[in-house]
Structure 1
């Protein structure tokens, strides 16, 4: 990055933070003139008590319709069917309460409810014609980042092959995000671990991306620093409000960073696996991260050294290359401390699909291009072979 490097930084979301910031929901809905909202969530959030707390903040003059059947890795069929069910309900805004799948589903619905076609017609950048409905995002995990980004990830099946597609758009930046750690006090430690490692993946991949800029570096490296300090205390006890607050903010900070810097081949391979196996995104990312860091560090040792410093690794007396390797070793150990399996086989991924996964990942330019080290098919194969 220098004076001749042209970059663009895009940010649209107003973000409320802090314990009890959920109280801003009612005024926000009044401000945008909402009269009938669609609350998008899943069964886990419904039964956790979080949804009840959020509903308690909705003004009485606003009608609430609830769609609580979001499944992990939302697909074209579920988005299109849900949109058809609500298209004539005169929805004026959406409120997403949940993790990445919930927020991505709400983003997709915000487009399809005002446009006539299937969500599959809008893959790519700003492919829709009618303005999307306004969205308020309330994340209930510490890893999605979707609440501050402008993309929705949708599973597509064409000719029997499942892949993950991205829908981008200016309207997909939520109008407002509310980051209230008090809503997450009952979050299971395993979910904190997987989503927290997902946030770390976003931060590191965004920081070393060849699309990074001074703006995104500031966001992503700070997120690495906060996650390094907060992740293990949050896993140890979800009622550690300061740690949970730190994780929630870091996730959103790097969400904004990655929306502008792009990501790398942890996500390229992870999306292929998630589509084929319907595997949990955060855990797949967490397992793959050390393997890709080991592969990528030689592309930018200086940045990997800075990651080590942000993670509070003692690199005194080490060369840049040694410090970069120390960052990789630290992340590998952190995944173990967080309770993440070392191999994908632990979550049911087998080697029989490696060739298909390689083909999908290799053709995913969204992640291949910004990855700091160029990858061949054989490189991707080797990563999968090692990690399964």
Structure 2
């Protein structure tokens, strides 16, 4: 009996010791788990901070056009956060800007496998294809970008990509395709009041020799921003090239007034805005076809006749003898002699055929003397412009 009690007491003590030991071990395990979890979370948080810090450094370097530094920072960021999509895209972009074209291309292609419809990725691939001189591949990626997913402000991005595609097609001398892309952008922009876009599109249409659409967009820019001198200047220049000197004068004058007298760019072959305005006014005064009446027209023709004859005589004086005068100029002199009677005021007023012959003679004189004796000055330069455009006739 005593033995049984002793055994039970021993078992109880053993169970109590085991229970205590279990509780201690459990508590110790819990503490270790808590410490481990804390350390893990602390490390994860620190790793996330390092990834963010390196990623921001890479983004800043890329914005500052330091792609080499950006690559190092973005690789570090991805070592902490390998699945960060933004840093993956930035790294691929930095590789391309640093001249690692093939590596950047492969990187973007891998990213595209996961998101084939991503607008940004396709745009970057298009730009890389341009650098690799792969025209069709570049065009295909541009179109994929246009119809891709931009995750917000899709219309703005698609318009910008279309303009970039048009610019590329112009560089490739594919003017018809470029014009088609520009027409789509212009059609979508009709309801928008954006003078800056109007001017950009107008300039692009000029590059594809579509001055008609360019002028429409410059006129729209005037409406969208009536105080923008650049819109009036550009419209005035197009009108001037088209021989519409009345509109050219009005728009150039308005543009000069809005720019507070700034003459514009003298680098343009046609001259600055003030010079172009002066020329427009003189051309309006010299052009027979713009005269208000028959009498005024004949008066202009007689004035131009005097100018052209003086120009011819001065050009001939550069040669010492008749034998040195080119055959074409000798023929021109004969024509002047033959029109002596038909180019009087009475003869011109009596028969419009005489006007046509005289105007043709003036045109031919200005063109030939410019070829033989060099560019004319003053009103002769204006008559040469009219002659080359056939405005007299």
TM-score normalised per structure 2:
0.28
User: Relative contact order (C-alpha < 8 Å, sep 6+): which is higher?
Assistant: 1
Higher share of residues assigned helix: 2
TM-score normalised per structure 1:
0.29
Higher share of residues assigned strand: 1
